[in-house]
Structure 1
Amino acid sequence: MNSPNFWTEAFIRGGGGGMLGDFVNSSVTRGGDGITQYLTGQGPGEVISATGDVAQWLGGLPGGKDKVNGKTFAQHVKAWVPGSSLWYTKAATDRLIFDNIQAMIDPNYRQSFNRYEKRMKKDFGQTFWWAPGDGLPQRAPNMVTLGR
C-alpha cells in the first residue's frame, strides 16, 4: 500500500474512476457496454446493445464475432432480466437461476465456471464460498477475513 501503483490500480479497479476507469483496463465496462453506449447515454445505449444482440443472433456480426453460443446466450438473458444485479440477491440469482440456465444450454459450462474461478483467484486473490455451478454453498462465508 506504500506504492503509487497500488493506489492507481485501486482507484481504477475499485470503481473510483467510474465507467471511464473501466475503459482504462478494457474496451468495455464491467457491465459489458462499449464506449458507444457510454457516450450516447442509457436509452440509446440500450437500443445499440439490443441491436447488436439481434445481429449476433442472426448470424454473427461483421468483424469476426460468432453466433451466440450457450455461454453468450446465458449472459444476454442475465443482462436483460430486471433485478439480476441487486447486490443483496446477486449470489443467489447467479447460482440458482443463471448458472442453471447456462448449464442447460452450454455443453462447456463446467470449463467456463472453472476458468472464471481461476481468473478471480489470480486477479483478485478471491475464492468463492458459493462457487459457480454449485446448487448450494459448500460452506458458510468466512466472516473472520471480512474485517481485514
Structure 2
Amino acid sequence: MTVAATLSAPFFSIMFGGNVYDAFGAAIATLFGFAFSLYVEKFVRIPFVTAFAGAFVFGLIAQFWARYTGFPSTADLIIAGAVMPFVPGIALTNAVRDIMTNHINSGMSKMFESLLITLALGAGTSVALVLMT
C-alpha cells in the first residue's frame, strides 16, 4: 500500500503543475507520511487520527524539502501531490451511490466519515505549515 501511494504521488504533483523536484519531494513526503500513518494505525484505530498524523508528517517533509534542499521546489505542489493518495475518493463515491439508491443512513454515514477524514488531512497539513513558519 505504501509503495502504491509513493509511486502515485509524484504524478499527481506533476499533474498539478509541479516539476521533477516537486515530484521527487512528493514521493519522499508520501513515503514517510503514509508509513507513519500505518504505524500510528497499529496503536490508534481511529481513521481521523491516522489521517491527521500522516498529513502532519508529509506537510513537515514538504516544507523541509522546499526550504532546505536547494532544489527549485514549491511546498504547495509537493503537498498537493502527497495528499492525493490519502483522499477517500472511493468512499465518497460509494456514499453518493448509496444515497442515490435510497440507502440514506449508510450513505450519509460514509459521506460524513469521508468528510471528517478530509478535514483531518487539512488540519494535519495546516498544523505542519503553521509550525514551520
TM over 0.5: no
Query: Larger relative contact order (C-alpha < 8 A, sep ≥ 6)?
Result: 2
TM-score (norm 1): 0.33
